[in-house]
A and B are shown apart, each in its own frame.
Chain A
Amino acid sequence: MAANTTTVVLGGGMPAALEVLDFALGRRPGVAILGWDTSVQGTVDKVAARSPDVALVCADLPDWDGIKACTDIKRLGTPTRVIVVGSEGDQGTLISAVKAGADGYVTVADSVDDLVGALHQVHRGEARVPPLMLGSLLRGLIELRREDDAAVERFASLGNREREVLVELVAGLDHHTIATKLHLSPHTVRTHTQNILTKLGVHSRLEAARFVFEHDLFSRFGIGDG
């Protein structure tokens, strides 16, 4: 492969879209497509096996989890860079993509040549975000960071026993099972639960679970399987 060629693996939920992108990108000089896949796992496997310079994953439709694909590809620990394709102006997906480690973001409203430019850009190690979305991305990230800091602070205020109870709560155990497992009385578990909810500033165990996952608190505090 020539040194200035960018090799690519595509992943997305729509076979026809991938086939035509494969065709359109493949006929442009400087781009070589190493394969495509319509499942998240298949895409990650192909990236692992073929080590492309760039993986292009689609996240513009709700039923194909491009963010998960991005996360899993980044977890491989290989130098493959990831571009996420999202809907135009979809700030939520852009932020999720950045959090998942994406190197670039392209919208479905961009042209094929825009995409080719983005492929080369991230291959060179540059980040690529549509300029129109950059301002609100930064604001969104700062806001997220603030919420995140507050979440970590709240979690840190939990006692050790409360953390243990929270792990079991999030795993879906009821009070009695938790009591047996942790050698406590159900009444004590209930008291811990109340205090946990108050300290986290949530109203239900379900909300507590969401809070924990959203801010990735377990793995950050080295608890459980995260």
Chain B
Amino acid sequence: MHLARNGGGPLEADQRRILVVGARTLYLQALCEFLGTTGLSVSLLQPVQLRDSSLGPPPEVVLLDCAVAGVALEQLIAEIREFHKGALIVLLTSGSARESSKQAAMLHVDDWVSMSLPVAELVEVLDRGRRNSAARTPSSRRPPRSGPAVESPLSSLSERELSVLRLVVDGHSADEIAATLGISRHTVRTHLQNVMAKMLVSSRMEMVSVARKSGMRPAPTAPTS
């Protein structure tokens, strides 16, 4: 493990090197400090620095944060493959297991971990002996612990129904919602009928009123970014 070495020599031969790439410095820096205490050698890099990172010992694992703005993940992954041949690419996501595994599969990366899981699971994935382990199929991952059960009138709605409802709360018409979500007007109506049935309300106004009381807020009207 961590025996004192004379003269503080170079890295132990079996110490795993991990390169963390991403823009959410606040979380990633804290993550690196944490991982540093688990015996991993970790360094943090902004996505734009990737091109300059081919110096030094190559990492075994590159942990790539999905939340990058202004640059396509595909391009970053291509750069990682170019500059760090043979490194295992692990996607760091924020979402559910289902979304994460889908994203990982679409990007053809080796594995994924989500910040929605406890950090112990994240360490486990990074720390796994990699030489003899073929990349796991992300879809075989067990789903994350579900969050605390909150009995809200909104809890039984599907993600699609929630997004339709959110747009109604924002004051959009059925036509606008259809255009925004790329579905037909008729489908919007069906979604809303189902939402109203699930929420036990009899009008759209009542639906919006209940949604508001359950904590759904209209999107801010201020310009975004």
| Chain B associates with chain A | yes
Q: Does A39 contact B (CB under 8 A)?
A: yes
Given A15-B116, A19-B34, A108 and B27 touching (CB < 8 A)?
yes
Among A67, A92, A109, point to the contact of B23 (Cβ < 8 A): A109
A61–B67 Cα gap in the complex (Å)?
10
When C-beta atoms are compared, the residue in chain B nearest to A209 turns out to be: B208
A14–B118 Cα gap in the complex (Å)?
8
Among A68, A93, A114, point to the contact of B220 (Cβ < 8 A): A93
Query: Within residues 129 to 160 of chain A, which ones have a CB less than 8 A from any CB in chain B?
Result: 140, 144
Q: Does A102 contact B (CB under 8 A)?
A: no
A interface majority secondary structure: helix
Given A206-B204, A206-B205, A112 and B222 touching (CB < 8 A)?
no
Is B225 within 8 A of A91, CB to CB? yes
When C-beta atoms are compared, the residue in chain A nearest to B225 turns out to be: A89
Query: Within residues 1 to 45 of chain B, which ones have a CB less than 8 A from any CB in chain A?
Result: 23-27, 29-31, 33-34, 37
B interface majority secondary structure: loop
Given A23-B34, A111-B25, A172-B206, A65 and B148 touching (CB < 8 A)?
no
Q: Does B100 contact A (CB under 8 A)?
A: no
Question: What class of interface size applies to chain B in its complex with A?
Answer: 35 or more
- Chain A residues, CB < 8 A from B204: 172, 206
Given A92-B220, A109-B25, A112-B29, A16 and B205 touching (CB < 8 A)?
no
Is B116 within 8 A of A214, CB to CB? no
- Chain B residues, CB < 8 A from A179: none
Q: Which residues of A contact B (CB under 8 A)?
A: 13-17, 19-21, 23-25, 27, 38-42, 60-61, 65, 67-68, 85, 87-93, 95-96, 106-112, 114-115, 140, 144, 169-174, 204-207, 209-210, 213-214
Given contacts A16-B31, A114-B26, A172-B201, 5 further A-B contacts (CB under 8 A): A95-B222, A144-B222, A170-B205, A172-B204, A210-B169
